[in-house]
Chain A
Amino acid sequence: MLQYDFMQNAFAASGIVAVLAGVVGCFLVLRGQTFAGHALSHVGFAGAAAGLLVGVAPLWGMVGLTVLAGLVMGGLGERLAGRDVAIGIVLALALAFGLLCLHFLTGSAVQATALLFGNVLGVDPPTLWALGGLAVLSLGGLAVISGPLLFATLEPDLAEAKGVPVRPAATLFLAVVALAVAGAAQIVGVLLVFALMVGPPAAALRLTGRIGAALLLSAGLALAEAWAGLLLAYLSDWPTSFCITALSAGVYGASLSAGGWPARLPSRR
């Protein structure tokens, strides 16, 4: 199957995005901000559709609007807490706005499906390079903020008292999440970004309580699920996004029954 260019591109693209989503998703799950990731992907749909309408590649429309939304959410900070209704309405509005943009385009049904549920087999080399750039940028950004971010995640009040830049780290983190969401949406679509950004890290954090191991395991699981999903899709001719999402859900389900057994073993010194 790897003699086809589109399969090579699909494996490369999903590999890049899986590692990115697995790592960024770990922080997202630890921070309890998975809903923010979901919100950003909905906003991304509007950005991508608007991009199509004005003749910009959907990826860049998505990146632009998700990063903007991430920074706004970070700026609002605690004021967003408990505003489920307002957030839900903004999400619905974003999806509806995307729908309106697609309405003005002809042949919108195919594009709508590609945006909502992903089209990894349609990734071309320029998109592949763009995804690589996004991954380097957001992983680099994450490396810079990860120290204060982890401290602020685990002990927000203590971190604030210790003079840790809590707010800037949280805001920049949402910008990093926005980039990862835009990348993940290219593979599995805006509606299924949870499959790559939440499933693998949630399973990893159930399987190990060590932070370094959790990051590696999360990236590894995301990569394995993405590639196995592609393979399954190739063999069965089912949608790739379904295969990846089903694997992600299956691995998370299995991790629930495994219930953190390695952490209960005596620690290795």
Chain B
Amino acid sequence: MNAVTLAGATLAYGERVVLRDISLAIGERDFVALLGPNGAGKTTLLRAILGLVPLRAGSLRVLGAPARRGHPGIGYLPQARRAAPHPRLVARDFLACCALHRRWGPPRLGRAVRREAEAALDLVGAAPLGPRPLADLSGGERQRVLLATALLGRPRLLLLDEPLASLDPNVQREAVLVLRRVQHELGITVLLSAHQINPLLGAANQVLYLAGGAAALGPVDRVITGPMLSRLYGAPMEVVRLGGRIFVLPGQAVTAENVRDHAAV
């Protein structure tokens, strides 16, 4: 069984179609880096898998069933909201309040829920953060707590929307190592959107590259190539490998602006 299967899927963000007639399958236990320029449909695809965005056409199956909102097998780390203030709650209570209260009624903050919260913190190596207020944590520490939140309920598919954004390189590396370890320990599928492949080299075994309404899925070396990206973008693209890192550049007429837009991939 595949973790995610798209067949002839067309997805729109509001009125704008962002992905057209996509067919692909993400295998179980894959670690997939979801890449592409801004507005290529990375978040829209993740939200469609969560059952929050209906398909314009085609089908989308998740963990063997049509995508639907509230699938218990999916863990999700949303893109960080910049405006949101961080609550003064301690990390353990923050997690306990997020531990699957789908029904009406007061939250159950009993021992079982607290144990679940502590187990999730333990899983991401953040047990010492449990008694500390979220507002006092560093960006990297907070990201660990949020990752623990995504792991509540032991999901089989983990969707992470730009979890590395606004973390410095060392913290990014640490976060990727944690993710990789968690993925191995739990044997789950990870789909992670990012602006750069480089921090994920060695962790991601697959790349799902979105551009120009199309998608390409495969191992890093097969997808991030000049010909493949040129086809996706519909314009000549060049891939430069340098010191074990990968840079994607427009193939011609390199302007400062183009480099800023594309070198980051």
Q: How many whole Å from A55's CB to the nearest CB in chain B? A: 38
Q: Is the interface of B mostly helix, strand, loop or mixed?
A: loop
- On whether the beta carbons of A145 and B130 are closer than 8 Å, the reply is no
Size range of the interface on B?
A: 35 or more
What are the interface flags for A148-159 relative to B under an 8 Å C-beta threshold, 1 for contact and 0 otherwise? 101101111111
Residues of B contacting A155 with CB < 8 Å? 78, 98, 146, 149
Q: With an 8 A cutoff between CB atoms, is A205 at the interface?
A: yes
Q: A145-B104, A205-B88, A210-B93 in contact; A260/B133 too (CB < 8 A)?
A: yes
Main secondary structure of the interface of A (DSSP, over half): helix
In contact, A154 and B100 (Cβ under 8 angstroms): no
B97-114 CB mask vs A (1 if < 8 Å, else 0) is 110111111111100000
> Is B243 interfacial (CB-CB < 8 Å)?
no
State whether B105 touches A143 (Cβ < 8 A): yes
Tell me, yes or no, whether B74 is within 8 Å of chain A by CB.
Answer: yes
The reply to whether B132 and A151 form a contact with Cβ atoms under 8 Å apart is no
Q: Is A42 an interface residue (CB 8 A)?
A: no
Residue numbers in B under 8 Å from A79 (CB-CB): none
Complex CA distance for A143 and B85, rounded to whole angstroms: 24
Q: Point out the residues of chain A lying under 8 angstroms from B106, CB to CB.
A: 143-144, 146-147
14 contacts between A and B (CB under 8 A): A145-B104, A147-B101, A147-B106, A147-B107, A154-B89, A160-B52, A161-B47, A161-B51, A205-B87, A209-B90, A209-B132, A209-B133, A260-B88, A263-B88
For the complex of A and B, the 9 pairs showing the least CB-CB separation, nearest first, are A163-B70, A157-B78, A267-B131, A147-B101, A209-B90, A209-B133, A150-B97, A147-B107, A161-B50
Q: Which positions in B face A, CB cutoff 8 Å? A: 47, 50-52, 69-70, 74, 76-79, 81, 84-85, 87-90, 92-94, 96-98, 100-109, 130-134, 136, 146, 149-150
